[in-house]
A and B are shown apart, each in its own frame.
Chain A
Amino acid sequence: MPSLSYLVARLLQIIPTFLLVMIFIFLLVRLLPGDPAIAMAEAKATDAQLEQIRHNLGLDQPLPVQFLVFVKNTLTGDLGRSIMLKAPVTDIILSRLPTTIFLALYSVVLAVLLAGPLAFLAASRVNSPVDVAIRGVFQVGLSMPVFYIGLVLLTVLAAQLRWFPVGGYGKTFLANLYHLILPALSVALYTSAIILRNLRASLIEVLDADYVQFARAKGLSPRIIMTRHVLRNALVSTVTLLGLSIGNLMSGTLVTETVFAIPGVGRLMLEAIFARDYPLIQGLTLTFAVLVSVVFLLTDVVQSWLDPRLRQS
C-alpha cells in the first residue's frame, strides 16, 4: 500500500493547482466582456437596481478583495445563489450531482466490460481477421461524437425497437440501471474505443514480455500467468488511461444528459449558460474541476498500489 506520506505529498500538490483553477474561474466571469449585473437583471432595470445587484455580488469592490471573498466563500461551501433557480448554488449542485456520478460510473463499467474482452481477443490474435475487424469497428467508434451515438441508440433501440425507455430517470438503483442504459452506453461506446486501443497495445507488449516467458518456463498454470502476470501488468496503463480520460468522460456525460434529458449537473450547466446564470456557471465549473482532481488523485493512489516502482518519494 502507498504510504501516508505519499498521500499527503500528493494532496499538497493539488493546492497550487487549485489556486490557479480558482483564479481562472474568477477571471472567466469577471474580466471577459459583458456586465454580469446587466445580464442578471431584468431588461428594464434601473441604474439603481443594477447598482444594488453589483453591490450584492460584491462587484463594486476591488478585484483582489473580490477574489479573497470568492475563495473564502468557496471554502465554506457558499457558491452564491442561482439567478435562474433562485436557490443556493451549492444545494442545487449537490442535489443534481449523484445522477451524474452514477451515470459516469455506469459508463466506465460498461466501457471496461465492452473493451476488456475485445482487447484481449484482438491482442491474442494480432493482425488476424478478428483483430482487424475489432480495430476497424472501434476506429469508427472514435469518429462518432457522443451526441450522435446517443441519437442513433435512441432511434434504433428506443424509438424503433422499443427495447429501452426514451428518457427519464428511475427511483431505485435497478430502475436507474434500466433507465440510464442508453445514455451510459453512448458515453461507454466512445470511451471503450479509447480503452480498447490502449489495452490492446499494452496486452500485446505484456504477452510478449520476458517475465511472462519466464512464468511459463516456471511451469505456472495459464490461469495464474494470465491473472497474476499478464492482466495485472496490463492494468497499470489502463488505470492511467481511465484516469486521464475522466475529462472526456465528464464532457461525454454533459452531452448525453442533454440528449436524453437527464437531470444531472451536465444538463444544468447548459441550462445555466443559456440563462446566463453566472453564479451557477461558476459553481458548476468548479465542481467539474473538483471531480477531475479527485479522480486524478484516486488514479495516482491506485497506480502506486498496483506498481511498487511508483511508491518511492
Chain B
Amino acid sequence: MGTQEKPVVLDVRHLRTEFGPRERPLVAVDDVSFQVAAGEILGLVGESGSGKSITLRSILGIVRPRGRVAGEIRWNGRDLVTLSEAQLRRIRGREIAMIFQEPMSSLNPLLSVGLQISENLVAHTDLDARARKARAIELLELVGIPAARNRLDDFPHEFSGGMRQRVMIAIALASNPKLLLADEPTTALDVTIQDQILRLIQSLSRDLGMAVILVTHDMGVVAETCDRVAVMYGGRICEVGPTAAVIGDARHPYSLGLLRSIPRDVAPRTPLYSIPGAPPALNALPPGCAFSARCPVAGAECPNVRPALQSVDVLRQVACHHLADAQTHFRPREAAQ
C-alpha cells in the first residue's frame, strides 16, 4: 500500500462532540481517533446517525456554537480544537475544504457560480478580479465542466445535479486545500454520475497530493475509492484498516453485518441480509459497546464494558470483546455460499 511512508497530515485524538444541555448531553462523537496521511483517501463509513458527518464538521469547527468539541485535532502542528473562530476561518476553505451531500441545496440559489467561486478566492488569496476570474475558469475546467468560460455567470439552477456537485468541488479546490472533507458527495446522485464524481475525487487526490476524508454509508463506494476505511457506529470507531483488508477480512461484528448486507455473488432469490434492529438513539447509548444491543455474539459484559480499539495486525485495529465468536458466527455461512 505504501501509505505508511507518507507523512501524517491530520491526527485526530479522542475527539468528542456533544450537543444539548451540559448536564444531559447528546454525545454524537465519542472518543474517536484516526490519522490521515498526505494524498490518502480515508473512508468513514456507517449508518446515518453513526456520527460520521459530525466528525467531519467537528474537524472544521462548524458544529459550533451549538456543538461542543473536545479532544485533539492536530493539523500542521496546531490543535484545531483550541483555535478561535477567527483562526479557524483562516484554515476553513484554505487548508481544509469541505463539500456537502446535497449539491441542490448547498449552493446559494441567488448567486452566480462565478461569484461563489471567487468569494472563496477573495477570502483566502490576494488575487485581483481578473486573476480570480481566470482561476475560476481554470477550476471549472479542472472538475470537468464543459465550456467553463461561458458558465461563470450561470446560476446553480442552470446546472444538472452532477454538474452542481462538480461546481461544489471546484469551489472547495479554489485555494489548493491539503485536505478535502467530503460528506456523502455522491449520495444524492444517479449511479453513473456517482461513479464519475468518485473518479474525479480520486484523480484530484492523486494529482494534487490532497488527502481526502470521504464519508459514506455505502461500502461499495469505499471499496472503489478509499485507501483506508474506518467503520463508525454509535459515535465510535469500531474497526479501522486498509480497505482491502477490512472488506476482505472484516473482524468487527458490525462490519461483518454491514458487508453481509451488500448482495455479492449470491444465488438468485436469496433473501437480503439486514442487521436486526435499528441504530441506537444518541440519548440511549449503553455505557459499553454501542453495537451490543444488535450484536449476534454479544456477551453479558458488552453493554457495560467499553471495548478499546486493539491492533489485530500491523495496520488494523478493532474494538470488540468477542472477535473469535464473531468469526465463527459469520464465517461458516459466508463460506457456504
Contacts and interface: CB of A to CB of B under 8 A. Distances in A.
B92 A307 contact: no
A216 B187 CA distance: 22
Interface stretch (A36-44, A105-113, A218-226): A218-226
B105 A221 contact: no
Contact of A217 (B98, B108, B119, B124): B98
Interface string A211-254: 10111111111001000110011001000000000000000000
B110 A209 contact: no
Interface string B252-283: 00000000000000000000000000000000
A306 B157 CA distance: 14
B108 A215 contact: yes
B168 A214 contact: yes
A210 interface: yes
A308 B124 contact: no
B90 A219 contact: yes
B105 A209 contact: yes
Contacts of B181: 217
Contacts of B112: 308
Nearest to A309: B157
A309 B108 CA distance: 12
B100 A221 contact: no
Given A219-B91, A221-B89, A214 B107 contact: yes
Contact-size category for A: 20 to 34
B20 interface: no
A211 B91 CA distance: 19
A281 B289 CA distance: 79
Interface string B165-206: 000100110000000010000000000000000000000000
Contacts of A210: 100-102, 105-106
Interface string B69-96: 0000000000000000000111111100
B111 A228 contact: yes
A165 B304 CA distance: 75
Contacts of B172: 218
B180 to A, nearest CB: 11
Given A219-B120, A306-B110, A308-B155, 17 more contacts: A213-B62, A213-B100, A214-B100, A215-B108, A217-B60, A217-B62, A218-B92, A218-B120, A218-B123, A219-B88, A219-B90, A219-B91, A219-B124, A220-B120, A221-B123, A229-B108, A307-B109
Interface of B: 60, 62, 88-94, 97-98, 100-102, 105-112, 119-120, 123-124, 155, 157, 168, 171-172, 181
4 closest Cβ pairs, A-B complex: A219-B93, A219-B92, A218-B93, A217-B98
13 contacts: A213-B106, A214-B100, A214-B107, A217-B92, A219-B88, A219-B124, A220-B119, A220-B120, A228-B108, A307-B110, A308-B157, A309-B155, A309-B157
